[in-house]
């Protein structure tokens, strides 16, 4: 019997298990220092492989559909950040300052790649446009997300230094990504044939960051400061943010006269946020107990978007079947 698409998958369940493990057996001391070094190395390898995988020429060729891509990018890197920034006073009052910053953090992240493309395909949307939109969003996210974090969150997050953070982004993210692009002509075939390697590096780096981040957060008293009521409010906030994004994409693409397959592509590409990109960037930009609270809203939003968008894709699929 197949698992329903709206249920948490093995990846999400593993993240929950790691949070539980960090709550009971947090890594600390010298072990935490070694875990941090291993995590940084995994993130550098991850961005190197992403650079080798992403075809810059294919992205340029796909930009012919400029209205669709422009709209997805505008929602992702302008609309979402502005929404999160404008809502900060209300979110701070409802969730507290750390979780409110976590909501703003996921607002500045690029779109997902795998799930946005898979859901677009399931819903009978424009898959080729979805592939290009996801690639463009991921490519620009490497540069725009750290910049937006430093502009919108730099002064609010204790201990963050603009110059030091910029240097860490350059060394741990941009240089490995650029190196991957440079050697792409020689190793792209190998990377394409071994997609499982990239997936394992991707997931392993996220597992390491989540465990070490929540270990530090637990040591600093995260769960003593975060009652169940606030967690439930966070789920509600993430649901509202997703509903606003979906509503905006649906309404605006209708007003702009987009065809239904393109509207579906924008719906999934513009509303989703990438956990795979957000976790490594947080590891580079933030440190200590702050990061655990910052990542919690992203993890909640990730599950809410998967459950909601999977249900939407099923409805589009059913309606398409009715028409045929």
pLDDT value of residue 166: 64
Domain boundaries, the chain: 27-318
pLDDT value of residue 203: 74
Q: What pLDDT, in 10s, does the model give residues 18-59?
A: 888 888 888 887 887 888 788 778 778 877 877 787 666 666
pLDDT value of residue 93: 93
pLDDT above 70 as % of the chain: 84
Comparing 151-160, 167-176, 312-321, the range with the smallest average pLDDT is: 151-160
Please give the DSSP secondary-structure letter assigned to residue 181: H
pLDDT value of residue 241: 95
Whether 321 shows a pLDDT value over 70: the answer reads no
Alpha-carbon distance 63 to 60, whole Å?
Answer: 5
pTM value > 0.85: no
Q: What pLDDT, in 10s, does the model give residues 242-271?
A: 999 999 999 999 999 999 989 999 999 999
pLDDT value of residue 245: 94
pLDDT value of residue 277: 81
Q: What is the mean pLDDT of residues 229-237?
A: 91
Class of domain 27-318: mainly alpha
């Amino acid at each position: 019997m197949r698992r329903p698409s709206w249920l948490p998958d093995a990846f999400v369940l593993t993240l929950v298990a790691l949070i539980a493990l960090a709550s009971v057996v947090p890594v600390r001391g010298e072990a935490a220092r070694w875990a941090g070094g291993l995590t940084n190395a995994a993130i550098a390898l991850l961005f190197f492989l992403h650079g080798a995988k992403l075809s810059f020429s294919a992205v340029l060729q796909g930009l012919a559909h400029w209205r669709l891509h422009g709209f997805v990018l505008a929602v992702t890197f302008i609309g979402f950040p502005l929404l999160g920034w404008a809502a900060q006073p209300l979110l701070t009052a409802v969730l507290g300052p750390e979780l409110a910053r976590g909501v703003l953090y996921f607002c500045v992240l690029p779109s997902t790649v795998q799930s946005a493309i898979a859901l677009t395909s399931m819903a009978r949307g424009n898959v080729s446009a979805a592939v290009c939109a996801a690639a463009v969003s991921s490519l620009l996210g490497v540069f725009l997300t750290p910049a937006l974090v430093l502009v919108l969150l730099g002064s609010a997050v204790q201990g963050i230094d603009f110059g030091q953070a910029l240097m860490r982004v350059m060394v741990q993210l941009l240089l490995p990504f650029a190196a991957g692009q440079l050697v792409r002509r020689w190793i792209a075939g190998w990377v394409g044939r071994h997609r499982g390697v990239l997936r394992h590096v991707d997931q392993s780096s996220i597992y390491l960051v989540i465990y070490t981040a929540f270990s530090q957060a637990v040591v600093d008293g995260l769960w003593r400061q975060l009652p169940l009521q606030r967690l439930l409010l966070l789920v509600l906030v993430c649901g509202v943010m997703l509903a606003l994004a979906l509503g905006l994409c649906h309404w605006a693409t209708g007003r702009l006269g987009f065809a239904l397959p393109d509207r579906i592509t924008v719906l999934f590409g513009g509303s989703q946020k990438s956990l795979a990109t957000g976790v490594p960037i947080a590891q580079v930009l933030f440190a200590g107990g702050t990061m655990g609270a910052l990542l919690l809203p992203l993890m909640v939003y990730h599950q809410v978007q998967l459950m909601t968008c999977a249900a939407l894709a099923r409805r589009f699929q059913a309606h398409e079947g009715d028409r045929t």
